[in-house]
Amino acid sequence: MERFTYQEVNREILRTLNPPRKPYYFLVGGLFLAVLYAASCWAYQILTGMGVAGVMHPVNWGIYLVNFVFWVGIAHSGTLISAILYLLRARWRTSIARSAEAMTVFAVMIAGLFPFIHLGRIWVFYWILPYPNQRDLWPNFQSPLVFDMIAISTYLTVSFLFWYTGMIPDLAAVRDHATGLRQKIYRILSLGWVGSHRQWRHYTSAYVLFAALATPLVISVHSVVSWDFALSIVPGWHSTIFAPYFVAGAIHSGLAMVLTLLIPLRRIFRVEKFITMETLESIAKTIIFTGLIVGYAYGVEYFMAWYSGNRVERDTFIWRAVGHYAYAFWIMVVCNSVAPLAFFFKKVRTRLSSLLLISVLVNIGMWYERFVIIVGSMAHEYNPYSWGNYAPTWVELSIMAGSFCLFLFLFFLFVKFLPSISITEIKESLKPPARERSKA
Amino acid sequence: MSSESPANIGNAPEGSLEKAPGIPLWLTVLSAVFFVGGAGVFAGSVGGALAHRAWQVYLINFVFFTGLSFGAVLFVSVLNMTNAVWGRSLKRLAESLGAFVPVSFILFWILYFGKEAIFPWSAHPAHGKEVWLSVPFLFVRNGLGLFALSGAALALIHESLRREKGVSSRMDPALAAKGAAQSRRRQAVLSPVFGILYAVVLSLLAFDLIMSLDPHWVSTLFGAYYFIGSFYTALAAILFLAALTRKPLGLESFILPNHFHDLGKLLLGFCLITGDFFYSQFLVIWYGNLPEETRYVILRVREGGWAATAWAVLIFSFAIPFVVLLSRKLKMIPAAMAGLTALILGSMWLERFLLVAPSLWQGSDFPFGFLEAGVTAGFLGAFALCVIFFLGRFPRLPFSDPLFKRPVEEEK
Amino acid sequence: MSRFKSPGILGVFPFADDLLKALEELKASGVPIHTVFSPIPRSEIQKILGQRPSPVRFFTLLGGSLGLATGISLASYAHLKWEFVTGGKPVLAWIPFVVVGFEFTILFGVLFTLASLLFKSGLPKLRLPEQYDPRFSGDRFGVFVSGSGGGKEMARMIFQNNGAEEVRDVF
């Protein structure tokens, strides 16, 4: 990290909160309209029924659940970067932690919407919550779907609180820089933080504890999501490797999303001196690692399908590669495990264009991976008479597009209203201002 | 990090820390006795009625110590890949644990002689798996894999040691710097190569040597469970070695309580990950309730002797280390960590026992007695001899590593 | 906790080493230090002020334990209500309940940690104390010594000797 003064850090990062120019308003407005459109599609689905979606026997879980798993996966890298890398004391996380955490919160919120959308009779969603009722009905705590409900709501709560707590000192910095109504709003948001030694003492302790608690949580959440599938006996789903495989895949897609978002961000806000090439390179190297894990999982699954001699298992895996959804399978393999290998070359991982390209490819590949696993397995189960294909309808695709627009919409709002780089942590990584050094 | 000159060593006086006067002779003798005794016990049993038990415990020890050894080299490889500074003082100790690698390669081939006793499918081919589970193919592919992995491990260690010679013999600084840079590049390439080979080869080893003992049982996570568990075991062994050799080898000023704290945290992390991998398999198999899968687990958690072992492993490998490693104070006491890691090592040995023995053992009694203790002692002796040999010949600290600095006592 | 109205004297320092020297001198002369403001946490400040590690972690432990108990009890209670054998699994199966217990442990652990953090830090607070200077969230450090009289003058002298950019009386 270059030598900055504290004042420079404050100034540069608070500058990103200045009122935006016209293109921003158009972009945000457009995204909002897209979200409204998707919401109206959802309203249409609620009024008309689930038949407007493509889900039908045998594929009862369609792209609503593909998107659910996809967005939970995206959420994971945020917690990885802010919590796990914090515990491992990796320096390159400092400038990207706040945006990554924001990404997590928004992604979990959007992921949480999809089970509702998939539910159809959304007005009875609360039946899955454990609350005392006059018929003494309770959810089945052995069901992975109930695990999901508990895990996702815990993850949403914890990641939101972690993100918010991390921002409190930064919000104080914004408050002290602002005037008028803005100052009042940030005064409330920063909870009256003054940076006294007492407050810092408890804060630093609490932050480490948050990170230590968030780390096993993030691993458990995507393990729980993977168990939605692995605890069944559907061929291609019932596999012990699913938990670590999904967690690695989640981090893989999340890191790629971080790259996709931050490369334009650092250019637009001109914060290249904070989000340095070294940071981007470290992300790229981690993507190699997660890509290798995902590739290993593909290999082991295929090997085990063959080794087990189980006819149904073998047939499922062969069909994945050559059947109706073969295109999705090959996109998945090439984008997830082959493309990131290019990052072994320094030239590739230090060039913005190749970083952006490969990160987009990985995101596409990871989406298709969920598609191949979920739709591909359900379309081709035990009984040949029950085999059938699935194709998403315009309603499902509109809602999916809306989810991406919602994510970008929230993220755009975030970067303009809240400090997207952690002011305090950047300052902590610098040497404190000292009289001797200033003389030199 | 460009100063590659001998002055990088810090204040270590020339030559004082480089040879190891601190390894007591009695330890070497004891290890040799263990080795010879163990070999004798083994050789004596393979001919007789206890042949099956002998080969069974040989296999258990082989997979345990091989995994441990390669896991230690993985630690070195990870240090290189992450450019971590905190663990540098432990690098050479980890490499010393990797000294067992060539011995393990030789021990692998001895398994061939026990093929009837070890592999149930050698006499009765497993239906549908004849191609994969055939003795020649198994030995060829595992032999090649182990050869590649051992080669990568030894090359990595060699590169790390190469520069020490340059530093200690006070070569021309320019030449030393050039050699150092070249060595660093090679380590930077070898480390990820080793990492990938580690995952692939150890998975293969697990599938072939452990999972195939019950030929009709499969678990996709089994290979990863084995190599992550081996890494956990290796971390425990590194910590154990560090705690044990701190005083005798004069490393007190280089391996501080901070290092124990950091390594303890890493150990806690991998304790949790190994436990999580175990639970992932257990939950999926329990929940699916498919007879071809549950058979393996039910045997190990319901039948008397095995069930007791399973509970012991759960408690000593996971529950107790989890609770102990949460405490900051305890992590920084070398003696406490030595005790805990010894417990973990023993318990992980039991874990490998639990993976292998129930699949092979046909008798009604519990196969744990003098024979097992003897053969295990033999392996332990061989392993200790390798470590002693390594630490006796090579500098105990990676002086020539530019990321190695005399650590400053941190205030925490 | 800082009270709103406490008279005293505030020293504003642009350099951290000056601040630490001033703190040490204040401590040596027995002047009670009320609050030290800083834009970032510094372990040296905590050491000079003789602060032990924060007790927040005990709340975390408490919350975590409570969460584990809650999760397992909730799941067990719900299952004992109807005693169904679903999917061949026993009524009370600890294996899946591990997941439920684990999630509740984390949730309660985090909530208790946050609650204790806010409580111990005196947050949320509507009004900032008089002695707070907006530059403290930027690049200035501050030391506030409360009281009036001898201690105050002593503090003023120490501040001025150690390169305080500004020394302000707070009434």
Instruction: Assess whether pLDDT exceeds 60 at residue B307.
Output: yes
Kindly determine whether residue A309 and residue B128, on different chains, have CB atoms separated by under 8 Å.
yes
Q: Strand C166-170 relative to strand C141-146: parallel, antiparallel, unpaired?
A: unpaired
First and final CA of chain B: distance in angstroms? 26
For chain C, the residues whose C-beta falls within 8 A of a C-beta of chain B are 43, 47, 87-89, 95-96, 98-99
Q: Is 70 exceeded by the pLDDT of residue C1? A: no
Which pLDDT does position A398 carry in this prediction? 97
Mean pLDDT to the nearest integer, C11-15 = 90
Cα dist from B29 to A418, B107, B385, C53, whole Å: 67, 21, 9, 48
Buried b (16+ CB within 10 A) or exposed e, A87-99: ebeeebbbbbbbb
User: Closest approach of chain C CAs to the CA of B336, in angstroms?
Assistant: 23
- Using 50, 70 and 90 to split pLDDT, how confident is the model at B169? low
CB contacts, 8 Å: C51 with chain B? none
Of the partner residues B220, B272, B277, the one whose CB lies closest to the CB of residue A301: B220
Q: Does B381 touch chain A (CB under 8 A)?
A: no
Spacing of C-alpha A130 from chain mean position: 27
| B411·C47 Cβ contact <8 A | yes
Which of B172-186, B201-215, C150-164: highest mean pLDDT? B201-215
Provide the shortest C-alpha distance from residue C153 to chain A (in Å).
22
* Contact (CB, 8 A) for C100 and A150: yes
Taking each helix axis from N to C end, the angle separating A242-268 and A97-119, rounded to the nearest 10 degrees, works out to 120
From C87, C100, C139, residue closest to A5, measured CB to CB:
C139
Q: What is the pLDDT of residues B30-60, one digit of tens each?
A: 999 999 999 999 999 988 888 899 999 999 9
Q: Which positions in chain B touch C87 (Cβ < 8 Å)?
A: 287, 289
Range ranked top by mean pLDDT from A1-10, A420-429, B1-10, C123-132: A420-429
pLDDT of residue B4: 37
Contact A311, A132 (CB under 8 A): no
What burial class does residue A214 get, using C-beta atoms within 10 Å of its C-beta: 0-12 exposed, 13-18 middle, 19+ buried?
buried
Is residue A348 within 8 Å of residue A354, measured between CB atoms? yes
Residues of A whose CB is below 8 A from B125 = none
More confident residue, A301 or B332: A301
- Cis, bond preceding A58 (omega within 30 deg of 0): yes
When pLDDT is averaged across residues C49-63 and rounded to a whole number, the result is 90
Structural contact between residues A408 and A34, judged by C-beta atoms closer than 8 angstroms? no
* Residue of B279, B297, B301 to mutate when probing chain C, most C C-beta within 10 A: B279
Cross-strand pairs, A67? none
- Flag if A240 and B285 touch (Cβ within 8 Å): yes
Name every chain C residue with its beta carbon within 8 A of the beta carbon of A232: none
Helices in A49-143 by DSSP H: which ranges?
A: 63-79, 85-87, 97-119
Q: Is A217 on the interface with B (CB under 8 A)?
A: no
Using CA atoms, how far apart are residues A421 and A426, in angstroms rounded to an integer? 8
pLDDT over 50 at B410, yes or no? no
How much is the pLDDT for A439?
A: 56
Q: Name C144's bridge partners.
A: C10, C35
How far apart CA A347 and CA A277 sit, in angstroms, is: 12
Helical H runs in B24-170?
A: 25-46, 51-82, 91-97, 101-110, 115-118, 120-123, 135-168
Q: Which residue shows structure tokens 């951290």?
A: C16
Minimum CA–CA partner of A217 in chain C: C106
The C-alpha of B281 sits at a distance from chain A's nearest C-alpha, in angstroms, of: 5
- The amino acid occupying position B21 is P
Is the pLDDT at B131 greater than 80? The verdict is yes
Q: What is the mean pLDDT of chain A?
A: 93
pLDDT tens, chain A, 440 aa long: 567 889 889 998 999 999 998 999 999 999 999 999 999 999 999 999 999 999 988 999 999 999 999 999 999 888 888 898 998 888 889 999 999 999 999 999 999 999 999 998 899 999 989 999 998 899 999 999 999 999 999 999 999 999 999 999 999 999 998 888 999 999 999 999 999 999 999 999 999 999 999 999 999 999 999 999 999 999 999 999 999 999 999 999 999 999 999 999 999 999 898 999 999 999 999 999 999 999 999 999 999 999 999 999 999 999 999 999 999 999 999 999 999 999 999 999 999 999 999 999 999 999 999 999 999 999 999 999 999 999 999 999 999 999 999 999 999 999 999 999 999 999 998 888 888 766 54
**Rounded to whole angstroms, what are the CA distances from A4 to A227, A238, A437, C42?**
47, 53, 13, 18
Mean pLDDT of B285-289: 93
Q: pLDDT tier at B11 (50, 70, 90 boundaries)?
A: very low
Instruction: Give per-residue pLDDT as tens, A39-68.
Output: 999 999 999 999 999 998 899 999 999 999
Task: Report the residue of chain C nearest A9, measured CA to CA.
Answer: C138
CB B313 within 8 A of CB B347: yes
pLDDT at position B385, please? Answer: 94
Q: Are C3 and C135 in contact (CB under 8 A)?
A: no
Q: Mean pLDDT highest for which of A52-56, B63-67, B245-249, B299-303?
A: B63-67
Residue B409: the pLDDT is 46
**Residue A56 phi, psi (nearest 5):** -165, 155
pLDDT reported for residue B77: 95
Q: What is the mean pLDDT of chain B?
A: 87
Determine how many CB atoms are found less than 10 A away from the CB of residue C47.
12
CB atoms within 10 A of CB B205: 25
The answer to whether the CB atoms of C47 and B286 lie below 8 A apart is no
DSSP sequence for B326-358: T-HHHHT-HHHHHHHHHHHHHHHHHHHHHHHHH
Pairwise CA distance, residues B72 & B14, whole Å: 28
At A314 the three-state DSSP class reads: helix
Asked whether the beta carbons of residue B282 and residue C95 sit closer than 8 angstroms, the reply is: yes
Sheet holding C141-146, edge to edge: C35-37, C141-146, C8-13, C166-170
Give all chains having 3 or more CB-to-CB distances under 8 Å with chain C: A, B
Cα gap B54→C52, rounded to integer Å: 57
Tell me the per-residue pLDDT of A66-81, one tens digit each, with 9 for 90 and over: 999 999 999 988 888 8
B292 to A386, A426, B126, B296, B304: CA distances (angstroms): 24, 55, 14, 8, 21
**CB nearest to A210's CB, from C18, C49, C110:** C110
Q: Is the Cβ of A203 closer than 8 Å to some Cβ of chain C?
A: yes
Structure tokens of A290?
Answer: 């997660």
Token reading at A300: 């082991």
Interface contact C74-A130, CB threshold 8 A: yes
Q: How far is CA B218 from CA A224, A303, A305, B215, B297, in A?
A: 22, 11, 9, 8, 11
Give me B97's structure tokens.
């644990």
The closest alpha carbon to A240, from B222, B120, C36, belongs to: B222
Is C111's pLDDT higher than 90?
yes
Residue B330, CB half-sphere, CA atoms under 13 Å: how many? 16
End-to-end CA separation in angstroms for chain C: 18
- Assign A366 to helix, strand or coil: helix
Interface probe, candidates C95, C97, C105, C106, chain B, greatest B C-beta count within 10 A: C95
Q: Rounded to a whole number, what is the distance in Å from the CA of B145 to chain C's nearest CA?
A: 37
Note the pLDDT of residue B148. Answer: 97
Cβ-count burial A420-434 (b if 16+ within 10 Å, e if not): bbbbbbbbebbebbb
Cα separation, A108 vs A102, in Å, equals 10
How far, in Å, CA of B329 to CA of B14, rounded?
A: 35
State how far the Cα of A252 lies from the Cα of A220, in Å rounded to an integer. 16
B33: how many CB neighbours lie within 10 A of its CB?
A: 12
Return the pLDDT at B16. Answer: 44
pLDDT computed for residue B20 by the predictor: 47
pTM of the entire predicted model? 0.92
From first CA to last CA, the distance across chain A in angstroms is 20
User: Distance between CA B73 and CA B97 in Å, rounded?
Assistant: 8
- HSE-CB at B137 with a 13 A cutoff on CA atoms is 9
Whole-number pLDDT of residue A106: 97
